[in-house]
A and B are shown apart, each in its own frame.
Chain A
């Protein structure tokens, strides 16, 4: 019995970390149709910001929840101004440029900090179910995923910024006619997406290995989840993250972690073949 509770916790963990990982990419892709292939490196920067500030004596919670998103948000802002803004509407070029950017960031971090980085211990300790151990941090990640979902929903649905952002997403020309500056909206959305990604990196820093190349492990998964989810930021990402997260954990439980990954990638390919517009293109049309 206890093993199933643990499995359920694993599934919850898989879903919530995947959701956190993808949300930033989904915001950027959903709003601006830019595929940010440097997404994995934004996660890596968030993790580095957390680990370095925590090792320098900053409280771990502040390092995770404040330093990481603020730092990556600023980096995102700079990158948008210097690079991304020239590439709107050029999907392939933006993919190439952000891929180059990802290599560049990996190179810079390797040059500065070398190939390894001391991690931080997982806060909050653990609890046991039957003869199995689990950690409270898993539950905290799920809580954070729920909080992030609520925040993004609230901002997009009930604030003026959210209204303007959604209007720009639907019809930039019309929004511009009504006095909105689309360039400004894109800029802040990109920075916001980067900040959310940095937060995800910070939250995952205690439970993952910190290396300059760590982003590579995430970017394909995030990319696939966002595309599988379709255009709707929240419902799409949430449904795709739930599907892929649970498939991954359950398959990994019954086979090996490696085949778990293989099975989840295969699921993604079949899903894209069956629903070329993504899950939300079919089931949650017009939702957020």
Chain B
């Protein structure tokens, strides 16, 4: 019976999320709606790293490489085709291909831990430097000027599929972005409930044991990495759609750091936590930007240090543990699929 309750509760939660997404534009002002759209795009990015780090055990310091590639792929394709439908597809496919090459290089070379961090970090820097130096008329793809550090202004935003004349309104953009966020979330939840997802978690927990059971950890990690890259690329397209602008700062290290902070704050090894962490942190950053007293770096740095030292599990797992302690009998009810509660997600990567 608890299984049925859980399924029902999850269905209700999803339905409530859909209703909330549908109703929000009618309730709040346009400015707040635009901000929420940005948060939703960023939350998709948060999900991509939450998946590969929290469930695949791969700590990438350069998830913005795929985010930026997706953004640039979308911008270049949208300017050339004047239609966002193939551009969105390219924004998923190109980062995924790049992740496949990089992942093959990293995982089949059995590079791990610190070295993985160095490589993802340097790849991001390479992209940042290269794109930064592409100003001038010599650097163009089709009709799209890359623009170097000035970025690419007035990128066409999303339109109705295969109908370039109908551009989405801000409300429709919000429905698209939030809908994508919900869809990616549900897709990842489903994947993690399937045997494939269990294998990903098994590899994170113990690579040797997983390979003794007949799975190839290199392949599993590589595929996880590719899926993460594809999701990050999609987030890049959503981000460019939000601002109609893309510049090399999309590759910046500070954004890479922010993703890691979202996940640390929200809770590693969950999917809901990083979304909450992302919205909370981005809201704080936006609020700090509007006043003079405190510096954003100072607050972000302090938050990260405090969470690593005092609350290393993050908000969502801590809250879940608290709830479970208060209601001793409700263990399976509040808990998601059992993979969600896998303990000590750090250990696998650190070994």
Contact = CB atoms under 8 A, between A and B. Distances in A.
A223 B261 contact: no
B114 A102 contact: no
Contacts of A95: 117
Contacts of A224: 118, 121-122
A97 B346 contact: no
B301 A102 contact: yes
Given A96-B260, A96-B308, A35 B296 contact: no
Interface stretch (B103-111, B151-159, B214-222): B103-111
B89 to A, nearest CB: 28
Contacts of B166: none
B122 A97 contact: no
B298 A273 contact: no
Contacts, number: 118
Interface string A245-288: 00000000000101101100110110011001000000000000
Contact of B132 (A93, A99, A258): A258
Given A83-B305, A102-B301, A262 B312 contact: no
Contacts of B126: 262, 265-266
Secondary structure call for the B interface: helix
A110 interface: yes
Interface stretch (A84-92, A142-150, A161-169): A84-92
Of B111, B125, B302, most A-chain CB atoms within 10 Å: B125
Interface string A5-26: 0000000000000000000000
A100 B121 contact: no
B105 A273 contact: yes
A256 B119 contact: no
Contact of B295 (A99, A102, A107): A107
Contact of B296 (A92, A107, A266): A107
A93 B308 contact: yes
A100 B312 CA distance: 13
Contacts of A268: 118, 122
A180 interface: no
Nearest to A96: B308
Of A91, A101, A110, A269, most B-chain CB atoms within 10 Å: A269
Nearest to B349: A92
Interface in B140-182: none
A262 B130 contact: yes
A276 B260 contact: no
Given A93-B346, A223-B121, A261-B129, A100 B305 contact: yes
A276 B109 contact: yes
B350 interface: yes
A265 B300 contact: no
A205 interface: no
A220 B125 contact: yes
Interface in B291-312: 294-305, 308-309, 312
Of B110, B305, B308, most A-chain CB atoms within 10 Å: B308
B272 interface: no
Interface residues of A, number: 40
Given A93-B346, A102-B301, A111 B119 contact: no
Nearest to B310: A86
Contacts of A104: 297-298, 301-302, 305
Nearest to A86: B309
A216 B123 contact: no
Contacts of A111: 294-295, 298
B257 A83 contact: no
A108 interface: yes
Contacts of B305: 83, 97, 100-101, 104
B133 interface: yes
Bin the interface of chain B by size: 35 or more
Contacts of A266: 126
A100 B300 contact: yes
Contacts of B113: 91
B82 interface: no
A97 B304 contact: yes
B283 interface: no
A227 interface: yes
A103 interface: yes
B298 A103 contact: yes
A261 B129 CA distance: 8
Contacts of B298: 103-104, 106-108, 110-111
Interface in B71-97: none
Contact of A96 (B110, B115, B264, B302): B264
Given A99-B257, A258-B132, A265 B122 contact: yes
B41 interface: no
Contact of A273 (B111, B121, B264, B312): B111
B253 interface: yes
B59 interface: yes
Nearest to A225: B118
25 contacts: A83-B309, A87-B308, A90-B346, A91-B350, A92-B59, A92-B349, A92-B350, A97-B304, A97-B305, A100-B301, A100-B303, A103-B298, A103-B300, A103-B301, A106-B298, A106-B301, A111-B295, A220-B122, A220-B125, A220-B253, A224-B118, A227-B115, A262-B126, A268-B118, A269-B122
Interface of B: 59, 105, 109-111, 113-115, 117-119, 121-123, 125-126, 129-130, 132-133, 253, 257, 260-261, 264, 294-305, 308-309, 312, 346, 349-350
Interface of A: 35, 83, 86-87, 90-93, 95-97, 99-108, 110-111, 216, 220, 223-224, 227, 256, 258-259, 261-262, 265-266, 268-269, 272-273, 276
Interchain residue pairs A-B with the least CB separation, the first 10: A107-B298, A100-B304, A104-B301, A103-B301, A107-B297, A100-B305, A258-B133, A107-B295, A97-B308, A265-B122
